[in-house]
Copies of this chain bind each other. A is one copy, B any other.
């Protein structure tokens, strides 16, 4: 691991990259302890604060974890699906909120991906997944539910659908697509009528999954996508020329 002191970028960024490369390439393996901050400072010929800045960069990506004390230090972290999930959700959410991505574009991507899970989910969903979906449908039918709570339940429903495919990689990839839509969905006001329709489609999906009927799940997802986009479109219309 070497750094180029001539380079224009920050030393801490260079050091972080050097260590990151070592991890990605397998030179440093999971749970391996890195040299102490003092030793790293020596190796890279920089001060300890600079090394620490580099380590914090890596910690922010969950690539390392640190422990204090006699046997402490920085250790290569096994990136858990959980950590990967939350990073993906943060990144996806920010990406959508900062780049004027149209609702249609995001919605299209989300449903395209979700439909990719549907056949697998129809094949493999457990009773547990089904129970989660039914429970969320029940919650969505409660009167007096806020729009935010309705959206959150919607996300939980769709996550159960995705998780039903029993493929952790797929669940991970979808987490961003589904959760990042929530802020966009929150702009929609769900009337009693529209909630009813959504619940109807959710039920249709749950029923079809129970029957392991992939085609009907797909059809219901298409319907749901169309309906959601219509709702968003109406909101946009009403905002353009209000009452």
Contact = CB atoms under 8 A, between A and B. Distances in A.
A107 to B, nearest CB: 9
A85 to B, nearest CB: 10
Copies of this protein in the assembly total 2
Contacts of A94: 23-24, 63, 79
> What bracket does the count of chain A residues touching chain B fall in?
35 or more
A142 interface: no
Interface of A is mostly: helix
A145 B117 CA distance: 35
Contacts of A16: 60
B90 A88 contact: no
A74 to B, nearest CB: 13
Identify which of A79, A90, A108, A169 gathers the most chain B CB atoms within 10 Å of its CB. A169
A189 interface: no
A177 interface: yes
Interface in A95-118: 95-99, 101, 105-106, 108-110, 112-113, 115-117
B106 A112 contact: no
Nearest to A52: B53
Contact of A99 (B49, B78, B92): B78
Nearest to A115: B116
Nearest to A112: B116
A219 interface: no
Contacts of A98: 30, 78-79
Contact of A60 (B23, B58, B80): B58
B167 A105 contact: yes
Contacts of A99: 78-81
16 contacts: A49-B49, A53-B56, A58-B60, A60-B60, A60-B61, A84-B92, A105-B169, A106-B169, A109-B167, A109-B173, A110-B169, A112-B116, A112-B117, A112-B170, A113-B173, A116-B116
